[in-house]
């Protein structure tokens, strides 16, 4: 009896302790999130300092106190809106771009750069300062009226490169391999498992992709810095910007300054003395103001649906695309009578072919009732292109990674490892094909034929979807397909997209197709708050904490590798996915 009483008392004590800790956690989060109302002082400078990875859309409740613990990202949507609002804000006299380490693709950097160019049309200044400039950071900073660097800082300007790792020999030595079935001579997502060297087809497509990106980047820098494209290529080839002194001499930057000296330049632009206080407001605070400003007004609405991340079967969320959350968003936009057109913003390397087709079908149903325009972000490749292909019109940035019309299947196999360590698996079944595949046995010819047939079927359907959406023949699409990756600029030339431009251009086109002059925007989906995700999926919350730790302690490259391996393990079924994990730097 005493044992039972003590046992129940222990349980009760544990529950009470948990409740107290939970209450203290909520209280702490609320206190940390408490801020005074944001006020912009007269004669202020907006600080464009981007510390966290950029997503196209965050879609969270700003009042969510738990975002302090789990949300470590910034919304491109918020950044662009903040710059637009600052352009018309009489209290904001200029923008200072300072010490960025952009964790985003070149298309995202290009979108921010265009917004800053538009901001400069107001006559207000844009200045830039950095202790270090990566090529992407410099590309963004070069839009400024003047660009400065720390005298003992560093600069990177040498052209673009990409690296792909190959694992064939590792598989042979370890006995752990990936069984691969693919369609498309350029479908190199699986090439690292089949060879130890890069194929000529893959080398060719990566080289052309990098060349297209680099030409776009230096053409824009050329205009901003008043340097010819030939001069910029010479600087890159000779490493003429490898330190602050050389960068200054070659014209990449305008001066070597310590940060206090840079602040004095900003004060001079504002008509202040060096002893005066410089009024600045950071981007995070200013977005609290810009988010409540209605940049577009009207009772008629345009729906903007954000589809970002890899495509997995399931509900989906802010980091990946699932049929659950996206299909709900499409149906809401389709059924809302105030919504007159739909803009789908795609930023995805692809993934599950079946999920891509589910989303494609839902978009086809919506397109029968309302115009559909697609805007492509950093990438809309393979499955990302699949869901975009049927739109009335497709926009992409010149530096968007797109195309990759091809499919593959990968299945892990450890038969060699099992043999080496003395494991033997025996199978028993009721029918001829009831035992189709075992992780511990080499893949049989019959099973390989079945998987190959599935891959070929999905590839044929993919071609049909694109041909129908783009008004091309199957043969024409096949000549552009085979898993080949294209830049947005090249995709415009070969007909895979319609126009070069960003999200704003796509919105304007959707309004035109819907014959709207005045309209407001309705954005989807609305993601669950950090607290909801924490309570629903403790493992998911734990994963977010782990990712934050890896990013902060070990850097974004190891986090990227971690996410790549995790994504590979989550792949199920035939994949319509970007042909390689490609980091351009």
368 with 456: CB under 8 angstroms? Answer: no
pLDDT top residue among 47 and 61: 47
pLDDT of amino acid 533: 55
pLDDT of amino acid 471: 96
pLDDT band per the 50, 70, 90 thresholds, residue 278: very high
pLDDT of amino acid 531: 56
- pTM score, whole prediction: 0.84
CA distance 578 to 348: 9
pLDDT band per the 50, 70, 90 thresholds, residue 585: low
pLDDT of amino acid 63: 45
pLDDT tens digits along 147-160: 999 999 999 999 99
Q: Judge whether 142 counts as a catalytic residue.
A: no
pLDDT top residue among 385 and 38: 385
φ, ψ dihedrals at 152, nearest 5°: -110, 25
pLDDT top residue among 329 and 101: 329
Choose, from 93, 136, 187, 267, the residue flagged as catalytic.
187
Q: Calculate what percentage of the chain has a pLDDT beyond 70.
A: 80
Q: State the Cα torsion 551-552-556-559 to the nearest 10°.
A: -20
CA distance 389 to 417: 43
**3-state SS record for 238-287:** CCCCCCHHHHHHHCCCCEECCHHHHHHHHHHHCCCCCCCCCCEEEHHHHH
CA angle, residues 202, 207, 213, in degrees to nearest 5: 130
Structural domains for the chain: 44-158+239-290 (3.90.226.10), 301-577 (3.90.226.10)
Region 29-52: mean pLDDT is 76
pLDDT tens digits along 285-335: 999 888 887 777 789 999 999 999 999 999 998 889 999 999 999 999 999
**Packing angle between helix 283-290 and helix 76-88, nearest 10 degrees?**
80
pLDDT of amino acid 577: 60
pLDDT of amino acid 66: 53
pLDDT band per the 50, 70, 90 thresholds, residue 435: confident
pLDDT band per the 50, 70, 90 thresholds, residue 83: very high
Q: Judge whether 188 counts as a catalytic residue.
A: no
pLDDT top residue among 128 and 568: 128
Region 547-561: mean pLDDT is 55
Asked if residue 460 has pLDDT above 70, the reply is yes
pLDDT of amino acid 398: 96
Asked if residue 461 has pLDDT above 60, the reply is yes
Asked if residue 500 has pLDDT above 90, the reply is yes
pLDDT tens digits along 512-533: 999 999 999 999 998 866 555 5
CA distance 232 to 253: 12
Q: State the Cα torsion 263-266-271-274 to the nearest 10°.
A: 10
Choose, from 98, 382, 415, 581, the residue flagged as catalytic.
382
CA angle, residues 538, 539, 545, in degrees to nearest 5: 90
pLDDT of amino acid 167: 86
CA distance 67 to 88: 30
pLDDT band per the 50, 70, 90 thresholds, residue 565: low
pLDDT band per the 50, 70, 90 thresholds, residue 185: low
Asked if residue 91 has pLDDT above 90, the reply is yes
Region 389-402: mean pLDDT is 97
Poorest-confidence range of 78-82, 220-224, 358-362? 78-82
225 with 251: CB under 8 angstroms? Answer: yes
Nearest to 373 by CA among 358, 360, 388, 385: 388
Poorest-confidence range of 213-227, 230-244, 276-290, 329-343? 276-290
CA distance 474 to 468: 9
CA distance 357 to 362: 9
CA distance 34 to 70: 17
């Amino acid at each position: 009896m005493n044992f039972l009483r003590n046992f129940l008392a222990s349980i009760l004590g544990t529950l009470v302790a948990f409740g107290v800790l939970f209450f203290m956690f909520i209280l702490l989060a609320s206190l940390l999130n408490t801020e005074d109302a944001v006020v912009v002082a007269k004669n202020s400078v907006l600080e464009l300092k981007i510390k966290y990875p950029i997503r196209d859309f965050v879609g969270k409740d700003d009042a969510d106190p738990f975002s302090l613990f789990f949300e470590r990202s910034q919304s491109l949507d918020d950044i662009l809106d903040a710059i637009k609002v600052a352009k018309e804000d009489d209290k904001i006299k200029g923008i200072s771009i300072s010490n960025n380490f952009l964790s985003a693709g070149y298309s995202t950097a290009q979108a921010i750069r265009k917004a800053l160019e538009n901001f400069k049309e107001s006559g207000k200044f844009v200045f830039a300062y950095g202790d270090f400039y990566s090529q992407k950071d410099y590309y963004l900073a070069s839009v400024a009226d003047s660009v400065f660097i720390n005298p003992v800082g560093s600069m990177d300007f040498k052209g673009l490169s990409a690296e792909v790792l190959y694992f064939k020999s590792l598989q042979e030595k370890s006995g752990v391999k990936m069984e691969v079935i693919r369609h498309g001579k350029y479908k190199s997502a699986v090439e690292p498992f089949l060879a130890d060297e890069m194929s000529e087809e893959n080398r060719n497509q990566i080289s052309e992709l990098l060349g297209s990106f680099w030409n776009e980047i230096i053409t824009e820098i050329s205009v901003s810095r008043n340097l010819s494209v030939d001069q910029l290529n010479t600087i890159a080839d000779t490493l003429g910007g490898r330190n602050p002194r050389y960068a200054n001499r070659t014209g990449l930057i305008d001066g070597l300054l310590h940060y206090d000296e840079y602040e004095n330049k900003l004060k001079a632009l504002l008509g202040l003395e060096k002893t005066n206080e410089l009024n600045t407001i950071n981007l995070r605070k200013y977005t609290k103001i810009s988010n409540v400003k209605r940049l577009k007004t009207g009772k008629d609405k345009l729906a903007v649906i954000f589809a970002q991340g890899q495509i997995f079967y399931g509900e989906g969320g802010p980091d990946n695309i699932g049929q659950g959350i996206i299909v709900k968003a499409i149906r809401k936009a389709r059924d809302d009578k105030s919504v007159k057109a739909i803009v789908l913003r795609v930023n995805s390397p692809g993934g599950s072919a079946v999920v891509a087709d589910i989303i494609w079908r839902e978009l086809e149903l919506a397109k029968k009732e309302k115009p559909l325009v697609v805007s492509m972000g950093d990438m809309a490749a393979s499955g990302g292109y699949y869901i975009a292909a049927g739109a009335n019109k497709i926009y992409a940035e010149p530096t968007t990674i797109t195309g990759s019309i091809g499919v593959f299947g990968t299945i892990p196999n450890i038969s060699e490892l099992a043999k080496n360590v003395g494991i033997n698996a025996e199978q028993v079944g009721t029918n001829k094909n009831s035992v189709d595949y075992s992780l511990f046995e080499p893949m049989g010819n019959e099973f390989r034929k079945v998987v190959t047939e599935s891959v070929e079927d999905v590839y044929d359907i993919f071609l049909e979807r694109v041909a129908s959406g783009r008004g091309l023949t199957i043969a024409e699409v096949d000549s552009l397909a085979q898993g080949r990756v294209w830049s947005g600029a090249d995709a415009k030339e070969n007909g895979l997209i319609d126009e070069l431009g960003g999200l704003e251009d796509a919105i304007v086109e959707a309004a035109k197709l819907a014959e709207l002059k005045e309209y407001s925007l309705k954005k989807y989906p609305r993601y669950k708050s950090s607290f909801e995700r924490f309570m629903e999926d403790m493992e998911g919350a734990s994963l977010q904490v782990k990712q934050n730790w890896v990013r902060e302690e070990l850097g974004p490259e190891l986090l990227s590798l971690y996410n790549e391996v995790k994504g590979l393990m989550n792949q199920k079924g035939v994949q319509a996915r970007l042909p390689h994990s490609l980091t351009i730097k």
